[in-house]
Homo-oligomer: A and B are copies of this chain.
Amino acid sequence: MKRRDFIKTASTVGVVGAAASAFATPAISQNRIEWKMQTTWRENSPLLWTGPKLVADYVSKMSGGRLTIKLYAAGEIAPPLQVMDVVADGGLEMGHGYPPYWAGKLPAMQFFTPLPFGITTQEQNAWFLYGGGQEIADKVYGELGVKFLPSGNTSVQSAGWFNKEINSIEDYQGMKIRSGGLGSKVLAKVGATPVQMPLGEVPQALQTNSIDGADFVGPFNDMAFGLHKVAKYCYWPGWMEPCGVLDCFINKAAWDGLSDDLKAIVEAANAMANNVVLSEFVAKNAQAYQTLQTEHGVKMQFLNDETLAVLGKIAGEVIVEASEADALSKEVYDSLMSFRKLVMPYTNTSELAFLNARNLDFPYGG
């Protein structure tokens, strides 16, 4: 019955057959399924288009055309911030976006948005796979009527672009800063005014001083939007967003109706996207980080330890408050915090200690 419900959106169309005939193994001619996926991003949006494109391509390819996914850009079927609703209602089988866009729907969803002073990408992946994160994400996304799969990660972002210096926690007072999520609640507590604003409006807002600073993404995207032309300082470290999982979400009935082999294919395509997108962020951010300094004269700025320690303490208060919203929020918070507590001493000894050692002053290679 479930399968029938879900097949209402499937159809056997000529173009699928034509594409499939290119494969060495002919696809089954019955039970061809065609899904629609819409992202929250514009077509070919740098770094962000990679994941949904890869998922669509690999699912179609791996299934030999038995399941094809037609990819739509933001607005083609639904406005970007309505993709979750449309997927939940079955108007799209699949969506691709970023958890902060759904944080308003359910308090517990906030814990899938970047957690200030929380966990790194490597730790978040370990939490999803071996710390109960996938199960609890399925519960939270399940409340919205969809199945969740991690499908890319921005890795640690920057602390934003500013036109005023930040030398102490007091400097935040009175600043208008484009930001969202739990990080913006921390900014509000130190006297700043968080401003919600689409990415595209940020450059002009900085240029006209209608905002003093903006949390954005990372060097590659920031440079593409020309933030270095309208803001004096790029600040680090990215305490607000130490990682940022991108999400693939699937209409629950559509997911449940898939055969085991197609479920495995959708799962593997997203696992692949998760790794590929992270790698693209790392490689292209590294290149842009260099270019910003060598070609555009940007001098990177660092928040000092005193300022960071105050932000850290307030971040702790903000997440405790967020955990008190309801029982599900508390459940996600407990899982995430218990994993953070477990993994942090190990990461300090392994990754952090290695990175500090590598950064000592010695000649290395040619």
Contacts and interface: CB of A to CB of B under 8 A. Distances in A.
Given A23-B259, A350-B236, A356-B352, A130 B28 contact: no
B347 A62 contact: no
B130 A283 contact: yes
A197 interface: no
Interface residues of A, number: 101
Given A117-B364, A156-B350, A126 B279 contact: yes
A195 interface: no
Interface string A297-334: 00010110100111011011001100100000000010
A82 B362 CA distance: 39
Contacts of A22: 260
A136 to B, nearest CB: 15
Contact of A261 (B25, B131, B280, B356): B25
Given A25-B261, A28-B25, A366-B320, A120 B283 contact: no
Contacts of A205: none
A23 B58 contact: no
Contact of A283 (B126, B156, B238): B126
Which residue of A128, A333, A365 has the most chain B CB atoms within 10 A of its CB atom? A365
Nearest to A347: B355
B268 A360 contact: no
Nearest to A316: B364
B349 A309 contact: no
A224 interface: no
A221 interface: no
A239 interface: yes
B282 A123 contact: yes
Contacts of A120: 351, 354-355
Interface string A53-66: 00000100111101
Across the A-B interface, the 6 shortest Cβ-Cβ residue pairs: A24-B259, A130-B283, A237-B353, A271-B272, A316-B364, A286-B346
Given A122-B155, A282-B346, A300-B349, 5 more contacts: A24-B31, A122-B279, A123-B282, A238-B350, A289-B349
9 contacts: A25-B66, A155-B351, A236-B349, A242-B354, A300-B349, A302-B353, A337-B365, A352-B355, A355-B355
